[in-house]
Amino acid sequence: MSLKVGNIEVFMGPHTLGAPDNLEQAIVSFIDDARKTLDIAIQELESQSIAEAIVRARQRGVRVRMVLELDYLMAEKAAKDPFNKQETEKNDTNRELINALWRAKVDARTDYNPAIFHQKFMIRDVRGPNPALLTGSTNFTATGTHKNLNHVVTFKGKTMADVYTEEFEEIWSGTFGVKRERHDKHPSERRVSGVCMKTVFAPDHMPEMEIMKQMLKAKLRIDFAIFTFAQSSGIDDTMAALARGGIKVRGIADARQGNQKWAATHTLPRGRC
């Protein structure tokens, strides 16, 4: 059962691990509700159900634009015989799905940045009668929607859709990250259903500093859930300083990531974090 606060809806999954929501279905339903435009910025597309929903949108006349990370469409190692369809490779599913989208005349392209493209958001009908934004931690893959603990958040209305549309236009034109050719506006705070929102995009808006700034406002406690958490980011130093000052800091991290040599879990004070 998703959590709704006015125009904000939060889905926690995956349902296949006992969580309340089917993340893949939430993403598909969002796409199926598109009527005029659908802009998609995602790291990876490996879910056929989501790919089929994108094709359905294109076939009913929706203008679809999509940007993906190039690495997932390239072979890790050159094939001895690239014309041998029996020779399988890790990213075959990604390539098969993007080919299907291209055959459906979906306007999809890869990112222009040598660094990893880690975005996960969609904007629907930003200039239509039913504008909405979908974002969250979930990759558009079977692993992301059925095996890893993730979330999806949707925002109805233009308030957040407009913010992400500006970012998408920059991505679409290739002027972002190390190839930016503009000066970004300072992130502004907006309200959706009484909840204050501030969207900060990496790397242009220096989200590390924003996270540290928000933590320093804590009066009683900080709770966090994170997949990867590296040492010496400034965030772990801030957490340690707050814990020493009496702020209760509790966190949950992926066990495999948390046991890496570079993980902040080795330096944060035990028992407090």
Look up the CATH superfamily of 3-198. Answer: Endonuclease Chain A (3.30.870.10)
| pLDDT score, position 203 | 81
User: Can 3-198 and 207-266 be said to share one CATH topology?
Assistant: yes
Q: What is the pLDDT of residues 190-247, one digit of tens each?
A: 999 999 999 998 888 888 999 999 999 999 999 999 888 888 778 999 998 999 999 9
What pLDDT is attached to residue 183?
A: 62
Residue 62's pLDDT band, with cuts at 50, 70 and 90, is very high
Every domain of the chain and the residues it spans: 3-198, 207-266
Mean pLDDT of the chain: 89
Q: String of b and e for 37-55 (b: at least 16 CB within 10 Å)?
A: bbbbbbbbbbbeebbbbbb
Tell me the sheet residues that pair with 4: 9
pLDDT at 273: 39
pLDDT at 176: 59
Least confident of 44-48, 152-156, 179-183, 186-190: 179-183
pLDDT above 90 for 24: yes
Residue 32 pLDDT greater than 60, yes or no: yes
The DSSP-derived string for the chain is --EEETTEEEEEE-GGGT-S--HHHHHHHHHHT-SSEEEEEES-B--HHHHHHHHHHHHTT-EEEEEE-GGGGS-SS--SSTT-TTS--TTHHHHHHHHHHHHTT-EEEE-S-SS----EEEEE-TTSSS-EEEEES--BSHHHHHTS-EEEEEEESHHHHHHHHHHHHHHHHT-SGGG--S-PPPP-EEEETTEEEE---TTTT-HHHHHHHHHTT-SSEEEEEES--BTTSSHHHHHHHHHHTT-EEEEEE-HHHHTSTTBGGGTSPTTT-
The confidence score (pLDDT) of residue 35 equals 96
In angstroms, the CA 36 to CA 65 distance is: 12
pLDDT category, 259, cuts 50, 70, 90?
Answer: confident
Fold of 207-266: Endonuclease; Chain A (3.30.870)
**Using CA atoms, how far apart are residues 218 and 205, in angstroms rounded to an integer?**
22
